[in-house]
Amino acid sequence: MNLQRGQRAKIADLVPNGQRFTLGVAVNAPGLILDFACFGLDGQGRLSDDRYMTFFNQPTTPCGGVRLETPAGDAAGFAVDLGKLPATIERLTITAALDGAGAMSSIGSGHVRFMDAGRETGRFDFSGADFAAERALMLLEIYRKDGVWRTSALGQGFNGGMAALVGHFGGTVEETPAPVSAPVPPKPQPAPLNLSKITLEKRGNTVSLDKKANAAHGEILINLNWTTRAGPVKKGFFGGTRSNSIDLDLGCLYELKDGSKSVVQALGNTFGEYRDPPYIALDADDRTGTRTEGENLRINGQHWDDIQRIVVYAFIYEGTPNWAEANARITLKTPGQPEIEIQLDSSRNDRPMCAIALIENQGGSVKITKLVDYYRGHLDVDKAHRWGLDWVRGKKD
């Protein structure tokens, strides 16, 4: 079914089961950078619970009824299970907002489509001719009326960006408070949304980083840091303490577009190369616990088009495997993009190796998926992700 602007339809007429589907969103707008979000609103059209705004920094709702999931061929997407939504959520509104300069009139074409088991079942097309100088759009709405879920193709422009949309729906955005001359008693408020940092909370959560204004990606820096409770301690990169009694190593499997595959890690002294293939380098091996910044993998974003996929992992080279006390995490930083954090949040402590994240080249975008799977060693990680390398026992000098 092709929906026209302003048209309404029952979800059951678009999706056979009437409950579970994926919304794919795509916009053809060269030079524009867009952020997409799904607002879960109450009966008054308000974001009464900020946790029901699904976007790059909050990839799933508490109930799991909406989560980020991008269908192939789309720029963004949301997997929806209406049956999981609480009774307080009466409508879902899909939005797009500009990050940076521009206007929605510059859009060439765009769509929001319903996907069921990989098949398109409904679609709403729009273009810049429908808009003027607006900087945000309310694209599609899914709402409950008389106990029946329906949809409406909105295609409505909105002045202001993402922060203005959040405010319009009654939410709050994190910002630096202005100085005041005297203390003011705090007023209870929901926790503000952080639009500049992404935390991938659950296994399978994904986020994609697009190129900025047709430029190449900058350096992609992946930092591993951790804390422990035993042994001598010191100040850590995240403000905690870290022990000298454990040697936790960062590394990765990589596959280039030409089909070549290998590994970058301190074990075996395969530190990689930044300016030459594989365009991935490990900056140092923190064996003594004296480097407060932990360990870093550097990916040369200028050559991202030469890279197909990367599995980032950490393994305990020395010390008793105890991930719960290590409190390890990685952060991924690249210029002009929000910081991404993945916590190794499993209490499992009997396997020394953890595959943390899968990073894929998806049409030039950097797609990051949280894994946090634990293995007995490198060979098991290789087999799980079908890398096909030959492994021998190695050691550090």
The residue assigned the tokens 């929000």 is: 338
Looking up tokens 């890279």, which residue turns up?
Answer: 307
Tokens of 344: 């190794």
| Residue 361 dihedral angles phi and psi, to the nearest 5° | -85, 110
> Beta 307-318 vs 247-256: how paired, if at all?
antiparallel
Averaged pLDDT for residues 24-36 = 87
The number of angstroms, rounded, from the C-alpha of 81 to the middle of its chain's C-alpha atoms is: 20
Position 22 confidence tier, pLDDT thresholds 50, 70, 90: very high
CATH number 3.20.10.10 is the correct assignment for the domain at 197-230+245-385? no
Q: What is the pLDDT of residue 186?
A: 57
Alpha-carbon span 342 to 236, nearest angstrom: 17
Residue of higher predicted confidence among 226 and 192: 226
Distance, CA of 26 to CA of 34 (rounded, Å): 10
Give the residue extent of every domain in the chain: 2-169, 197-230+245-385
Structure tokens at 113: 């489509």
pLDDT digits (tens, 9 = 90+) for 94-126: 999 888 778 888 899 999 999 998 899 999 999
CATH number (3.40.50.150, 2.60.60.30, 3.30.200.20, 3.60.20.30) of 2-169 reads 2.60.60.30
**Which tens digits make up the pLDDT trace of 52-64?**
999 888 899 999 9
pTM: 0.53
Upstream peptide bond of 186 is cis (omega within 30 degrees of 0): no
Domain 2-169 and domain 197-230+245-385, same fold? Reply is: yes
Pair 345, 323: CB distance under 8 Å? no
User: What phi, psi does 280 have (nearest 5°)?
Assistant: -135, 130
Whole-angstrom Cα distance, residue 66 to residue 59?
8
Cβ(102)–Cβ(54) under 8 Å?
no
Conformation bin of residue 82: beta by default, left when phi > 0, alpha when psi is -120 to 50: alpha
Assess whether pLDDT exceeds 90 at residue 362. no
Residue 297 CB neighbours (<10 A): 25
Does residue 279 carry a pLDDT above 50?
Answer: yes
Helix (H) or strand (E) holding 168: helix 162-168
Which is nearest to 248 in space by CA: 302, 295, 306, 307?
295
Q: Is the peptide bond before 278 cis (omega within 30 degrees of 0)?
A: yes
Report whether pLDDT(240) > 50.
Answer: no
Residues making up the chain, counted from first to last = 397
